[in-house]
Amino acid sequence: MVAAIALSFTSYNMISAPEFIGFDNYRDIFQDAVFWRSMWHNVVIGAVGIPISMLIALVLAVLLNKGVLGQGIFRTAIFLPHVTATVAISMIWLWIYAPTDNGLANWVLSAFGVPNQAWLTNTDTALLSVIIVTIWQGIGLKMLIYLAALQTISEELYEAADIDGASAVQKFRYITIPALRPVTFFVLVTSIIANFQTFDLIFNLTQGGPANSTTVITYQIYLTAFEYFQMGLATAQSVILLIVLVVLTAISRRMTGGNDNA
Amino acid sequence: MRNRKLSTPPSTSDGLTALSRRGFLTVAGVGGAAVGLSACGSGGGSSTGDADLELLGPTFGDSEGQAILESDIVETFQETNPDTGYNYRFVPFDRLNETLGTAMAGGITPDVIFSGVGWVEPYAENGLFQELPEGILDGLGIHERLLEACIYQDRIHALPYQISGNIFTYNREMFEAKGIEGPPETLEELRDIARELQDDGIVPIDIFSASMGQTWITFLSAYGGQIFTDDGMNIAFNDGTGEAAVQFMIDLIEDGSADFNLQASQGQPRPWQSRQVAIDYINGTSWPALSDESPDMVTEDAMGIFLAPGDGNTEPSWLIGGTLVSMSSSVSAENEEVVHAFMRHLFDPEAAIPVSRYAGTIPALVDPPEDEELTSNRFAEFMMDNLDYAVAGEGGSAVWTEFRAEAVPELEAAMTGSQGAKETIDRMEEIARAALDGL
């Protein structure tokens, strides 16, 4: 990490020795509209996708915690996207999102009279389409973590609530959610970090397009390093990303009241 | 002083001593690491002797390709160079830049690199591709037009190994249904024909399933333009031809003749194959898949082929693509001869033709040998018959890869209606200038 930070103050094309250029890379970054747009896309993907996937994961975990028939099968099916290679996932979703009648999404919509949508080639829908995939892919691990946490909550608390006449919603709100706070913090932080590491999905699904409407920060770093051969600038972008992640983690901790006694 | 007596190792309940178990684990670990290391490396190869050629490229990706490399290229080369082994690493085109970059940073570069059109300039500039002696061309019979993509600052840095390119195909039935007699000869005719072809459910022309950058360059060439000046140090597309090319593409969309949203997704049939499109702008390497998936659509009766028309003042053309072969700067002086010999060997018909058949490409020769299977590839046959109209539109500058990566989103913005042609060219000009300033 120290080497990367040092490299961020240089101009380095991987052939010649790095040349110290001071803060030029950081100045270029702050003037790079595409870089900040990619950062914004990460924020949007996270701000929309993470809460939705956490909520869905929590609901599924609560349902599975009740010991439903076929629980193991459901758990496996929900977790499968997390362990499937992103390349394979991208191929599947490319088919789902195909803009013609061949695409599954359009085929389903056509049954309701909705015309074909250009999911990944329309700048208005491309980012939303990516968010949907990230939600779908992210539910599994979150569900598993929540399920494990739910099983540590003492049954006595629920029994006491039953005696007091609490409804299911009240038990969920006043027992389950507070008890899951440390886990929620953990899931949130790891999800934020994972969100900012999103690369292969974008690489395979949209290559950041159309017209940079789905580019993310890691993809920009990749382009800077391996298409533009500007390794110094790429490491400076990585340092910016690191700072952002540290700040977000601190904010998340404060907001969720996470502590080391989780 | 008390004599210290070495204690015997304690025995364990399973009868093995702890020392023996540790020793066993150590040996197992070392053995496992040795097996793991020997399994590393993605290419096949035979290490037979003094000079092992390290090859890297986007061809020979599957078992069929590996077999062709081994039996048709390497083994025939070894007949005259028995002490030469090889190791091939397959990297698809979209990962090649990254692989070469890390190889350069790590100081471990392959001897022979297969790359693409437009790659020579940046990698010659940064020193990865060595200059080749002019004598390497002697007797190879390489078509002069195809050498354009291999020269940077008047020096040869690659050989055009297997050539492909972008051409137009059309559905004859759809043409005949509209009473259209033949392919267009000018861009205006193309636009007129596209308008005539408009029909329910049919998009007349698909120019977006191909690479956006290549499509723009094709029309840029059609208007007589080029991206950079001949020395690669200045911008040339801002002379009006670049804007005209963008505007032409926008006009096709606004006419209803093209649809940016109708693109072939990876792993999906092309819209042309699904008969949603009458004219397709396609790369020649698509032939193997196309002829396999839609054989009835690619017959002489079903499909016509034409060059990209000019604007009335320029000749028709097709955009060269394909695979170039270069020697890296890591090759020492004593091994240069072997590497040069291997590169020349690639052009032997017995080595080149099997690759052409496999990849759907054509050998870069003025007078390629007759081959029935090759000529059954209609795209290959068409390109061979029209080598004089080949244009090396991509590349042209050391900043090509950087420019391309940043320019394509601007073109996409124009196609999605976010900005006009002039604004697009202005932004692309800024991108190019910033990149050139960094040289």
Closest partner residue to A102 (CB to CB) among B102, B268, B409 is B268
Residue B35: pLDDT band by 50, 70, 90 thresholds?
very low
A and B: number of Cβ contacts within 8 A: 93
Which pLDDT score is estimated for B267? 73
Closest partner residue to A98 (CB to CB) among B97, B268, B413 is B268
The chain-wide mean pLDDT, for chain B, equals: 86
Distance (Å, rounded) from C-alpha B353 to C-alpha B347? 9
Which pLDDT score is estimated for B275? 92
How far does the CA of residue B420 sit from the closest CA of chain A (Å)?
13
* Interface contact B405-A227, CB threshold 8 A: yes
* Interface contact B263-A226, CB threshold 8 A: no
Which pLDDT score is estimated for A259? 52
pLDDT of residue A242 exceeding 90, the answer is: yes
Which one is predicted more confidently, A14 or A81? Answer: A81
* Interface contact B260-A222, CB threshold 8 A: no
Helices assigned H by DSSP within A118-199: 126-150, 155-163, 168-171, 177-179, 181-196
B405 touching chain A per CB within 8 A = yes
pLDDT of residue B50 exceeding 60, the answer is: no
Residue A127: pLDDT band by 50, 70, 90 thresholds?
very high
Which pLDDT score is estimated for B273? 93
Residue A257: pLDDT band by 50, 70, 90 thresholds?
low
How far does the CA of residue A146 sit from the closest CA of chain B (Å)?
36
Handedness of CA A40, A43, A49, A51 (dihedral sign): negative
Give the ipTM.
0.81
> Mind listing the pLDDT tens digit for each residue in A1-18?
888 899 999 998 877 788
Residue B133: pLDDT band by 50, 70, 90 thresholds?
very high
- Partners of residue B101 in chain A, C-beta under 8 Å: 14, 225-226, 229
The residues, ordered by sequence, that sit 6+ positions from B355 with a Cβ below 8 Å of its Cβ are B59, B68, B72, B73, B162, B361, B363
Which pLDDT score is estimated for B32? 42
* Interface contact B105-A212, CB threshold 8 A: no
pLDDT of residue B33 exceeding 80, the answer is: no
> Mind listing the pLDDT tens digit for each residue in B206-233?
999 999 999 999 999 999 999 999 989 9
* Interface contact B412-A99, CB threshold 8 A: no
How far does the CA of residue A76 sit from the closest CA of chain B (Å)?
27
pLDDT of residue B21 exceeding 60, the answer is: no
- Partners of residue B263 in chain A, C-beta under 8 Å: 99, 121
* Interface contact B265-A14, CB threshold 8 A: no
**CB of B134 closer than 8 Å to CB of B156:** yes
- Chain-centre distance for alpha carbon B6: 68
CA atoms within 13 A on the CB side of B369: 13
- Partners of residue A204 in chain B, C-beta under 8 Å: 266
Which pLDDT score is estimated for A258? 54
pLDDT of residue B150 exceeding 90, the answer is: yes
The helix (H) or strand (E) run that includes residue B90 is strand B84-90
> Mind listing the pLDDT tens digit for each residue in B109-124?
999 999 999 999 999 9
pLDDT of residue B298 exceeding 90, the answer is: yes
pLDDT of residue B48 exceeding 80, the answer is: no
Which pLDDT score is estimated for B45? 55
Handedness of CA A175, A181, A183, A184 (dihedral sign): positive
**CB of B363 closer than 8 Å to CB of B347:** yes
DSSP state of B257: S
> Mind listing the pLDDT tens digit for each residue in B345-374?
999 988 999 999 999 999 888 787 888 888
Residue of A nearest to B435 (CA): A228
Best of A14, A32, A94 to disrupt the B interface (most B CBs within 10 Å) is: A14
The residues, ordered by sequence, that sit 6+ positions from B270 with a Cβ below 8 Å of its Cβ are B206, B209, B264, B277, B280, B282, B286, B290
Which pLDDT score is estimated for B16? 38
Segment B315-332 mean pLDDT? 93
- Partners of residue B439 in chain A, C-beta under 8 Å: none
Strands B51-57 vs B84-90: parallel, antiparallel or unpaired: parallel
> Mind listing the pLDDT tens digit for each residue in B256-291?
999 998 888 777 889 999 999 999 999 999 999 999
pLDDT of residue B11 exceeding 60, the answer is: no
Residues of A with CB under 8 A from a CB of B: 13-15, 34, 91, 94-95, 97-100, 102, 118, 120-123, 204, 208-212, 215, 222-223, 225-231
Which pLDDT score is estimated for B75? 93
Residue of A nearest to B97 (CA): A226
How far does the CA of residue B127 sit from the closest CA of chain A (Å)?
8
How far does the CA of residue B213 sit from the closest CA of chain A (Å)?
13
**Chain B residues 194-233 with CB within 8 Å of chain A:** 208
Summarize chain B as % helix, strand, coil (round to 5): 45, 20, 35
Closest partner residue to A210 (CB to CB) among B98, B126, B416 is B416
pLDDT of residue B14 exceeding 60, the answer is: no
pLDDT of residue A44 exceeding 50, the answer is: yes
Distance (Å, rounded) from C-alpha B132 to C-alpha B57? 19
* Interface contact B412-A231, CB threshold 8 A: no
Best of B200, B293, B416, B423 to disrupt the A interface (most A CBs within 10 Å) is: B416
Residue A66: pLDDT band by 50, 70, 90 thresholds?
confident
The helix (H) or strand (E) run that includes residue A79 is helix A71-83
Which pLDDT score is estimated for A235? 95
> Mind listing the pLDDT tens digit for each residue in A129-143?
999 999 999 999 999
Which residues are bridge partners to A259 per DSSP? none
Compute φ and ψ for B168, nearest 5 degrees. Answer: -105, 140
Distance (Å, rounded) from C-alpha B203 to C-alpha B195? 10
How far does the CA of residue B19 sit from the closest CA of chain A (Å)?
39
Least confident among A64-68, A204-208, B240-244: A64-68
Residue B19: pLDDT band by 50, 70, 90 thresholds?
very low
B330 touching chain A per CB within 8 A = no
- Partners of residue A21 in chain B, C-beta under 8 Å: none
* Interface contact A210-B263, CB threshold 8 A: no
B271 touching chain A per CB within 8 A = yes
Distance (Å, rounded) from C-alpha B368 to C-alpha B382? 13
Q: Which two tokens stand for residue A141?
A: 């691990």
> Mind listing the pLDDT tens digit for each residue in A148-181?
999 899 888 889 999 999 998 898 889 998 999 9
Closest partner residue to A229 (CB to CB) among B101, B265, B406 is B101
* Interface contact B105-A14, CB threshold 8 A: yes
Q: Which two tokens stand for residue B413?
A: 């913005």
B60's torsion region: left (phi>0), alpha (psi -120 to 50) or beta? left
Best of B98, B208, B265 to disrupt the A interface (most A CBs within 10 Å) is: B265
